[in-house]
Amino acid sequence: MNLRIALRLSTILSLASVRAKRTMDPVPTGRFKSPTTNLTASAAAFIISAVVVFFFAARGSPLEVKLLFALLMVLFPSMTAFMAMVYSVQFEFSQSVEATSTDMINWLPISPEDYVIGSTLSTIYAISPILALIFGGTFGAAVYTGWLDLWAVGNLMGFMGSLIGAFTLEIVRSLMNRLSQALFKSRGQFAMITRTILSLMLLVLIQLLYNMTILMKVASWFSVSIAEAWFIPFLWPSLTVLNYMISDGAGALFYTGLSVVLTLIVFLAGVKARDMNWVPVPVSYRMRPVELRSLRRGILGRLGFSSVESAIIRKDFKSLLRRREMLTQFAIPAMITITFLVAQSGLIGGSVPPDQVKYGFFGMMMFSAVTLSMGLSLTCMGQEGGAFSNLRKIPIEPISIIKAKIFYAFLPTLLIVIVVFSMVLFFIGDLVTMLGVFLLGITGILDVIMLSTAIGVYYVDFTEVPRQRFVKWEGSFLAFITLIAIIIAVLSPFLYGMYRPELNLIPHTAFILSEVIAAAIAYVGYRIVVGEMNRLYDSEDL
């Protein structure tokens, strides 16, 4: 192992985070010059969150603050591992197999050990502002409670948790490469769907391994308390903190040792996995022959789309199902929903009553639908990558591209919403109310799609190497804020109705007002997105 090379590589990979944007000045200067941006942001996040938490802790009940702080410290390693995993999964999926297989790292004399360390450090670098936010916040609470030693132990284990999460990614990456190779011998749509489902299952499984609720439930199967669950490796870092809290020095030392061993084992497994499946083979699925049809036929034609719009829609759906980097659009909503469902279902024996689980599940499904619509619309333009220039070369009006992209983002979401409302209707009843809610839900999703598409076009990022970005981070952040603003705006009549019950706005007047607001936002959003698309289409900077 050559630590110097590993550190050098981690710097190089970290630079990718700060130089995503192609600036007018090709020579990197200022914050683009070196990867110190995140470190500065991390320092600021640490100080701000420490001060804010200290201020709020001082206003709360000392006992409650202590309890919350102690609980957070025990959960910390599991949380940081989860964060590192979610970030890494996004990073992993946004790399196309083709790009990964032709990555220069493959032929440089960089050993799997050096690569795994470099890659892991760059992952931690990328999430460092979030880690610093948590480190700082807990530091504020530690200063208030006087438990600085517990803070140090908890954060050390938290850092170890993030290492375990990031190392685990290397195993996931390798397994996915192996999966692609195994399915290479299969053919057609079936192989592709199998790969998608297996990849999602793999991710969900890994997430479940780090889910504290599930780990605690597994411990309860063996009728032991969490403190005695020494046989569950992923609990070792948390058990270190727990033993330290109860002043069991020997126990804390024992679990620290086990945690270090676990980190080393995951590291070595990551190295071995990378060594075994270092370079993925780009999979070439052989599909059934295409039936060449005349223009304007098919369902899309009957729905009023022109032949060129239909062609773009079909292309985008094929891309959604076939490109590995598009899997991320499904992966995160699916991970959230399935993890919630499994953690709370009767199968695992969740502590939440069945009715609440049912509502929670419907809520999660709707949340997934909204997340999916936001993700698809935000990235629909950026996914073209360098091929966007092809769209500009052929005679397509910008409005046609936008119509196709909006339909592409809308259809999968519509299908999920129909499934959710059918289930709600079956379990809860009341057709009229449900149809009303369905209508409002659909209009709200259209709002999200229009505005997210506009943001995705404005902040479009056609970068393809070392990974597809689709949209700049400022765009992702703005889309998230916009999503919250849309929810507040659309539900404002209901919120106002609750604040002023004497006006009797709920449900009918509030519903009509909400629908009008949602429709207005959708219309304004459409005008904005058309304007943005025209600007992008005529842009000379591309």
Q: DSSP readout, 466-532?
A: SS--EE-HHHHHHHHHHHHHHHHHHHHHHHHHHH-GGG--TTHHHHHHHHHHHHHHHHHHHHHHHHH
The tokens describing 397, both together, are: 């009006």
Conformational region of residue 429, where left means phi above 0, alpha means psi within -120 to 50, and beta covers everything else? left
Q: Say which residue the tokens 């990031």 belong to.
A: 166
Tokens 């809610």 locate to 437
State in angstroms the smallest separation of the CB of 61 from another protein: 49
Both structure tokens of 46 = 């640490």
| CB nearer another protein, residue 102 or residue 504 | 102
Q: How far is residue 479 from each of residues 49, 452, 453, 486, measured CA to CA in Å? A: 24, 6, 9, 10
Residues 464 and 424: beta-carbon distance below 8 Å? no
Distance of closest approach, residue 36 Cβ to another protein, in angstroms: 15
CB closer to another protein, 282 vs 531: 282
59 versus 185: smaller Cβ distance to another protein: 185
Which tokens is 100 given? 């990964």
Residue 188 Cβ vs another protein, minimum distance, rounded to whole Å: 12
**How many Å apart are CA 181 and CA 338, to the nearest integer?**
27
* φ, ψ (nearest 5 deg) of residue 205: -60, -45
Least separation in angstroms between residue 18's CB and another protein is: 8
Binding-site ranges for another protein (CB under 8 A): 4-5, 8-9, 12, 15-16, 19-20, 22, 26-28, 99, 102-104, 106-111, 184-185, 278-279, 281, 284, 463, 465-466
Smallest gap from Cβ 323 to another protein, in A, equals 16
The nearer residue to another protein, 107 or 499, going by C-beta atoms, is 107
| Least Å from the CB of residue 279 to another protein | 5
Q: Which is nearer to another protein, 106 or 422 (CB)?
A: 106
Q: How far is the CB of 277 from another protein (least distance, A)?
A: 11
Q: 4 or 59, CB closer to another protein? A: 4
The nearest distance, CB 169 to another protein, in angstroms, is 20
Nearer to another protein, 232 or 279 (CB): 279
| Nearest C-alpha neighbor of 405 from the set 540, 541, 542, 537 | 537
Write the single-letter amino acid at 385. G
Pairwise CA distance, residues 389 & 119, whole Å: 32
Residue type, position 285, single letter: Y
- Half-sphere exposure at residue 259, Cβ-oriented, CA atoms within 13 angstroms: 28
Minimum distance of another protein from residue 538's CB (angstroms): 21
Comparison of 111 and 534: residue with beta carbon closer to another protein? 111
Burial status of residue 285 (CB atoms within 10 A of its CB: 0-12, 13-18, 19 or more): middle
The CB-of-14 to another protein minimum distance in angstroms stands at 11
Give the chain's length.
542
Question: Judged by CB, which is closer to another protein: 44, or 110?
Answer: 110
Our CB check for another protein shows the closer of 66 and 467 to be 467
Using alpha carbons, select from 90, 76, 162 the residue that is nearest to residue 333: 90
Rounded Cα gap, residues 263 and 256, in angstroms: 11
Tokens of 457: 């076009």
Non-local (6+) Cβ contacts of 261 within 8 A are: none
